[in-house]
Amino acid sequence: MITPRTSLSLGQWTIAIPGTPKARRALGLLLIVGGILGFLPVLGFWMAPLGLFVLSIDSPFLRRARRKWQILIEHKKRRDQIIMACQTGDWSAVNKTDKLGEKQVAYR
């Protein structure tokens, strides 16, 4: 049996989430509703994507979409590193292992 995640990583931030599926669904839906009501002073539009992010733990469709976005962002960061290395000549950051856990080859 796969154990559910107890936290989600958004770049440099880590967000703790509830352990039970019912609590995760409730939190995700509340965040989405709060995001829809983002024009109110206390709430914000940032809550809707965060709610989808929390719901992606239990939903295969949302999980696939989140994973595609994560891969897209990692590839963009990787491409930017290569461009910067070409411009500066410093290849030390390019030859490291990326966040996806795949070993990268040297680009020299």
Same domain? For 8 and 53 the reply is yes
Same domain? For 51 and 82 the reply is no
pLDDT of residue 29: 92
pLDDT of residue 108: 45
Cα(61)–Cα(35) distance, integer angstroms: 21
Same domain? For 85 and 48 the reply is no
Q: Taking 60 as the threshold, does the pLDDT of residue 23 lie above it?
A: yes
Alpha-helical runs (H) found in the chain: 21-36, 47-55, 60-88
Per the structure, the count of domains in the chain is 2
Same domain? For 83 and 47 the reply is no
Same domain? For 2 and 23 the reply is yes
Q: What percent of the chain has pLDDT over 90?
A: 11
For the record, the structure tokens of 89 come out as 């000549």
Q: Summarize pLDDT for 32-59 with one digit per residue, the tens.
A: 999 999 888 888 888 898 898 888 888 8
| Residue 9 DSSP one-character state | E
Q: Taking 80 as the threshold, does the pLDDT of residue 97 lie above it?
A: no
Parent domain of 101: 61-108
pLDDT of residue 30: 92
**Residues 6 or more apart whose Cβ sits within 8 Å of residue 10:** 53
For the full predicted model, state whether its pTM sits above 0.75: no
Same domain? For 54 and 67 the reply is no
